[in-house]
C-alpha cells in the first residue's frame, strides 16, 4: 500500500503555458519533499496541455482537466483529488522559495497549533523588479482588520488542513473573484491563523491580457462585479456583526459601487452610473471620490 503524501499542492491553470513549468519547478525544489502536485487545467485554449503532458511524463505531477469553470471550481477539484493531510495552494504564475513548506509545516506542528499558516510575499513586476513587500500578518486593510485579525493571506502562501477545508465546504465555485477572501473568512471562524514573518513566495504581476479570458471583456467585468457583490452580501448577512465589522463593510460596499458606476459609465449609461455613485456616497459619506465621480458624471 502506497504511503499518502503529507502535503497536496494544488495548482489551477488557465492559459498558463508560459509560467506553469516555473511554478512546478519551485515546488520540486522544496527542502521538504513529502508532497504530491495536482495541476487542474481550467479549459485552457493555448498550449498549456502540451506543457502539462511534459510535466506529467517527466515529474511526479498529477494533471486533471475541466471545462472552463473558474479558479474556485478548479481548486475544489484539486482538493477532492488530494491525498495529503494538508493542502498548499499555488497560482500558476507565482513561485515558492525553497524552504516554504518545511518552515510552514514546523509551525503547523508547533505548540500554537494553527489550522492555517501563510507567509509574507513579494510582488514582482514584469521586468523583474520587486515592487511590493507584503507583511501579510499585519494588514491595515479595514476588512482584514475587522474579520481576520489583520491577516491578509495570499492564497499562494497558504497551507491548511484538508479536514478544515472540507469542514467549511471549500471554495464557492460561483465566485470568480474574492473566492479566497470568502474562504479565509469562513476558515477564520473555525481555526487559528499564523503568519510566517518571512517572504516565502514571489507573486508576479499578471502578464496575461484580456485575450486569455474565455469570454468578452464586458462579460468578464460583469462576472467580477457580480462575484464581489455576492461575497459582500454574504458577509453582510452574517448575524453577529460588530461595529468595526459593519464599518469595514460600508467601506467595501462604497468601493464596490464606485466600480459599478465606472463600469456603467464606460457603457455610456450615465444615469445608472450616477445611481451607483450616490450609493457609494451613502455607504461612506466621508469619501471624496464618490462626490468627484458624481460631479464629473453630472457634467457629461
- Please list the pLDDT of the chain residue by residue as tens digits (300 residues): 568 999 999 999 999 999 999 999 999 999 999 999 999 999 999 999 999 999 999 998 999 999 999 999 999 999 999 999 999 999 999 999 999 999 999 999 998 899 999 999 999 998 889 999 999 999 989 999 999 999 999 999 999 999 999 999 999 999 988 999 999 999 999 999 999 999 999 999 864 433 345 556 777 788 889 999 999 999 998 878 999 999 999 999 999 999 999 999 999 999 999 999 999 999 999 999 988 988 888 776
Specify if 234 maps to a domain: no
Point out which residues pair with 161 in neighbouring strands: 86
Specify if 232 maps to a domain: no
Residue 216 is predicted with a pLDDT of 65
Q: How many domains does the chain divide into?
A: 2
Specify if 141 maps to a domain: yes
CATH (domain of 156): 3.90.550.10
The CA distance from 29 to 40, in Å, is: 20
Residue 208 is predicted with a pLDDT of 43
Same domain, 116 and 189: yes
Residue 65 to residues 20, 94, 235, Cα–Cα distance (Å): 15, 20, 32
Query: Residue 283 is part of which domain span?
Result: 239-298
Residue 44 is predicted with a pLDDT of 95
Strands of 43-163 (E only): list them. 61-66, 86-89, 94-96, 116-124, 130-134, 159-161
Q: Residue 141: which of 152, 131, 133 has the closest Cα?
A: 152
Same domain, 273 and 139: no
Last residue of a domain, one of 204, 220, 255: 204
The CA distance from 109 to 223, in Å, is: 39
Residue 213 is predicted with a pLDDT of 52
Same domain, 198 and 264: no
Residue 127 is predicted with a pLDDT of 86
Q: Residue 160: which of 5, 7, 4 has the closest Cα?
A: 7
Amino acid at each position: 500500500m502506497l504511503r499518502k503524501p503529507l502535503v497536496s499542492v494544488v495548482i489551477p491553470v488557465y492559459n498558463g503555458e508560459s509560467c506553469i513549468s516555473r511554478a512546478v519547478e519551485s515546488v520540486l525544489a522544496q527542502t521538504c519533499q513529502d508532497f504530491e502536485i495536482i495541476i487542474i487545467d481550467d479549459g485552457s485554449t493555448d498550449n498549456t496541455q502540451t506543457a502539462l503532458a511534459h510535466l506529467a511524463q517527466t515529474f511526479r505531477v498529477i494533471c486533471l482537466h475541466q471545462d472552463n469553470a473558474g479558479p474556485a471550481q478548479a481548486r475544489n477539484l484539486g482538493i477532492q483529488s488530494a491525498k495529503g493531510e494538508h493542502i498548499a495552494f499555488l497560482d500558476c504564475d507565482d513561485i515558492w522559495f525553497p524552504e516554504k513548506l518545511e518552515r510552514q509545516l514546523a509551525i503547523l506542528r508547533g505548540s500554537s497549533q494553527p489550522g492555517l499558516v501563510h507567509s509574507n510575499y513579494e510582488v514582482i513586476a514584469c521586468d523583474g523588479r520587486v515592487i511590493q513587500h507584503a507583511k501579510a500578518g499585519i494588514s491595515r486593510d479595514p476588512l482584514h482588520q475587522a474579520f481576520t485579525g489583520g491577516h491578509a493571506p495570499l492564497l499562494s502562501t497558504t497551507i491548511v488542513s484538508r479536514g478544515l477545508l472540507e469542514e467549511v465546504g471549500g471554495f464557492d465555485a460561483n465566485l470568480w473573484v474574492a473566492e479566497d477572501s470568502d474562504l479565509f473568512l469562513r476558515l477564520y471562524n473555525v481555526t487559528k491563523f499564523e503568519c510566517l514573518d518571512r517572504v516565502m513566495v514571489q507573486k508576479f504581476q499578471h502578464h496575461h491580457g484580456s485575450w486569455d479570458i474565455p469570454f468578452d471583456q464586458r462579460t468578464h467585468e460583469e462576472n467580477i462585479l457580480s462575484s464581489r457583490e455576492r461575497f459582500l452580501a454574504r458577509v453582510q448577512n452574517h448575524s453577529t456583526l460588530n461595529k468595526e465589522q459593519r464599518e469595514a463593510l460600508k467601506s467595501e460596499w462604497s468601493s464596490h459601487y464606485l466600480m459599478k458606476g465606472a463600469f456603467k459609465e464606460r457603457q455610456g449609461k450615465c444615469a445608472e452610473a450616477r445611481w451607483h455613485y450616490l450609493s457609494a456616497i451613502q455607504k461612506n459619506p466621508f469619501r471624496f471620490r464618490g462626490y468627484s465621480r458624481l460631479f464629473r458624471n453630472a457634467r457629461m
